[in-house]
């Protein structure tokens, strides 16, 4: 029976649904907006503590802070140091936190806190132009030793990476030959390595890393070696030559800048403490992508008041979906097509039981009063208007009565849309007069049933979360509703209604 003209319709519906879902999936992956409400993500809180003694002079303390450590994203940064001027200075290739104060006496403590989110995809941007190497002038006999070691390492390697590995190997105590012993001492090992690599034409530098362990205090940084392989900086362990940054290691400092400079103070020291925290994934996503181009579909940009209004509005399509399903597929009769949705919305605000009690009492009292109105022989418009006013009286009466009896549920009546209730009462009472109490019961309970179903769906935390954070899912809902509009199969209720046809089968 499907005529060909319906094909474009189905394609459009299909596109609508896939667009909605894939947009949601994409935003989930890109923005990290979680599917579930309660999802938590780990965050590392790292605190750098700088101690020094003031010597009655103006102080400038400048601490290197991470810019883009591999494997982490910086969520927040904050400095705590009363009485100091503070700013973060971005200078070519390095970021420094700078504290300043004019008169400083005695021991001083400065704090810098930052939160890091583990993110395997986070990578520092590669340098705009390849870094230059510096050739050092070596004195004899070191010059010969360096030349020979480098020649040896070079002979065994093919790339900057393998060259570095070989060199590190040659400099280890157990493999050291005479040449090496001549050069190496514990204190200068890393700097020597950097110098030798630079000498051989491979850009190299040092970096400092912090090992992340929950609830550790007074930790120090460990040094690492970085070489440039022509594309980007690689990090190596200077002792084992293991390449890459371990997952639990955050590179606090990269590049040639010093870690800490204190001008006007003595005995400066730095130590780190850290804490593993969890934050709701949703909050994380919202913070991380504040103002990001991808967040165009986000309602978090709106003022709070509008947000809560949209929270409600975005639930309505779910209610409409329930009504469409109940009427088209199940075949439940309701009084007024979307009256159940509006009642369900009111239930969301009042919660179910108080809402139900309030709604039923208003309608019941209203029906009794409507009985009197109908004997007055009024015109329809004035009868409805009178009914609206009566409904408001009933509502007010119930609220005051409920309040004086000591429960707040009385107040919840005010959430119900007065005009809708008035119409409901009007329809019910006409139905009563014309079709009898049974039809009122059927349609009334049908409406309430659909309203409760819609309420249960709309009040589920997951529903609120998904509709608000993935508004594009409404495309899929729209698609489903359109599809249902084309459903030509039997309703569930018809399978019962047509039962007597069994005898003719």
- Residue numbers at the binding site for other proteins (CB under 8 A): 1, 328, 331, 377, 379-381, 430, 434-435, 485-491, 494-505
Q: Which is nearer to other proteins, 125 or 379 (CB)?
A: 379
Tokens of 401: 């009565």
Give the H/E segment covering residue 273.
strand 265-280
Q: Which is nearer to other proteins, 129 or 499 (CB)?
A: 499
Closest CA to 195 of 137, 238, 247: 137
| Least distance in angstroms from the C-beta of 336 to other proteins | 11
Give the chain's end-to-end CA distance (angstroms, integer).
23
Q: Which is nearer to other proteins, 206 or 374 (CB)?
A: 374
Q: Which is nearer to other proteins, 71 or 446 (CB)?
A: 446
| Least distance in angstroms from the C-beta of 435 to other proteins | 7
List beta partners, residue 505. none
Measured distance CA(96)–CA(104) in Å, rounded: 21
Closest CA to 194 of 167, 230, 158, 221: 167
Measured distance CA(194)–CA(399) in Å, rounded: 80
| Least distance in angstroms from the C-beta of 493 to other proteins | 9
Measured distance CA(471)–CA(455) in Å, rounded: 19
List C-alpha distances in Å: 97 to 58, 211, 219, 295: 17, 21, 19, 30
Measured distance CA(365)–CA(284) in Å, rounded: 50
Measured distance CA(127)–CA(458) in Å, rounded: 51
Measured distance CA(476)–CA(13) in Å, rounded: 8
Q: Which is nearer to other proteins, 304 or 380 (CB)?
A: 380
| Least distance in angstroms from the C-beta of 432 to other proteins | 13
| Least distance in angstroms from the C-beta of 448 to other proteins | 21
Measured distance CA(290)–CA(437) in Å, rounded: 57
| Least distance in angstroms from the C-beta of 382 to other proteins | 9
Q: Which is nearer to other proteins, 456 or 481 (CB)?
A: 481
Q: Which is nearer to other proteins, 128 or 380 (CB)?
A: 380
Q: Which is nearer to other proteins, 200 or 443 (CB)?
A: 443
| Least distance in angstroms from the C-beta of 393 to other proteins | 23
| Least distance in angstroms from the C-beta of 492 to other proteins | 9
List C-alpha distances in Å: 64 to 168, 228, 261, 337, 369: 27, 21, 9, 65, 78
């Amino acid at each position: 029976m499907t005529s060909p003209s319906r094909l474009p319709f189905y394609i459009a519906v299909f596109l609508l649904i896939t667009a909605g879902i894939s947009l949601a999936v994409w935003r989930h992956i890109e923005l990290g907006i979680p599917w579930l409400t309660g999802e938590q993500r780990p965050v590392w809180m790292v605190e750098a503590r700088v101690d020094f003694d003031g010597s009655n002079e103006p102080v400038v303390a400048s601490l290197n802070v991470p810019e883009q450590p591999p494997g982490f994203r910086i969520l927040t940064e904050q400095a705590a140091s009363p009485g100091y001027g503070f700013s973060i200075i971005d200078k070519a290739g390095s970021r420094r936190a700078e504290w300043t104060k004019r008169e400083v006496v005695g021991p001083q403590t400065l704090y810098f806190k930052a939160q890091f989110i583990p993110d395997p995809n986070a990578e520092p941007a590669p340098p705009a132009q390849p870094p230059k190497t510096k050739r050092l002038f070596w004195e004899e006999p070191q010059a010969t030793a360096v030349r020979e070691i480098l020649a040896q390492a070079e002979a065994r390697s093919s790339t900057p990476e393998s060259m570095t590995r070989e060199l590190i190997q040659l400099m280890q105590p157990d493999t050291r030959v005479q040449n090496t012993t001549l050069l190496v001492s514990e204190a200068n090992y890393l700097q020597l390595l950097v110098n030798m690599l630079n000498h051989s034409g491979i850009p190299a530098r040092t970096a400092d890393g912090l090992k992340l362990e929950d609830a550790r205090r007074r930790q120090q940084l460990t040094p690492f070696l970085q070489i440039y392989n022509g594309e980007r900086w690689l990090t190596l362990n200077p002792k084992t030559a293991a390449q890459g940054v371990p997952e639990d290691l955050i590179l606090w400092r990269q590049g040639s800048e010093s870690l800490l400079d204190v001008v006007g103070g003595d005995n400066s020291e730095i130590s780190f403490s850290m804490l593993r925290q969890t934050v709701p994934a949703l909050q994380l996503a919202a913070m991380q992508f504040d103002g990001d181009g991808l967040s165009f579909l986000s309602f978090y940009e709106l003022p709070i008041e509008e947000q809560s209004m949209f929270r409600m509005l975005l639930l309505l399509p779910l209610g409409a979906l329930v009504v469409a399903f109940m009427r088209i597929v199940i075949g439940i009769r309701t009084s007024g097509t979307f009256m159940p949705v509006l009642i369900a919305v009111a239930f969301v605000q009042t919660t179910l039981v108080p809402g139900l009690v309030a709604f039923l009492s208003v309608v019941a009292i209203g029906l009794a009063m409507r009985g009197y109105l109908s004997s007055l022989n009024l015109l329809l418009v004035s009868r409805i208007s009178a009914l609206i006013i009566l409904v408001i009286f009933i509502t007010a009466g119930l609220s005051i009565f409920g309040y004086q009896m000591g429960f707040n549920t009385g107040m919840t009546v005010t959430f119900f849309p007065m005009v809708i209730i008035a119409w409901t009462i009007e329809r019910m009472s006409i139905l009563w007069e014309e079709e009898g109490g049974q039809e009122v019961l059927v349609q009334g309970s049908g409406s309430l049933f659909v309203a409760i179903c819609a309420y249960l769906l709309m009040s589920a935390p997951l529903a609120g979360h998904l509709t608000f954070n993935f508004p594009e899912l409404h495309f899929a809902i729209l698609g489903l509703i359109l599809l249902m509009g084309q459903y030509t199969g039997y309703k569930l209720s018809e399978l019962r209604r047509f039962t007597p046809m069994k005898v003719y089968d």
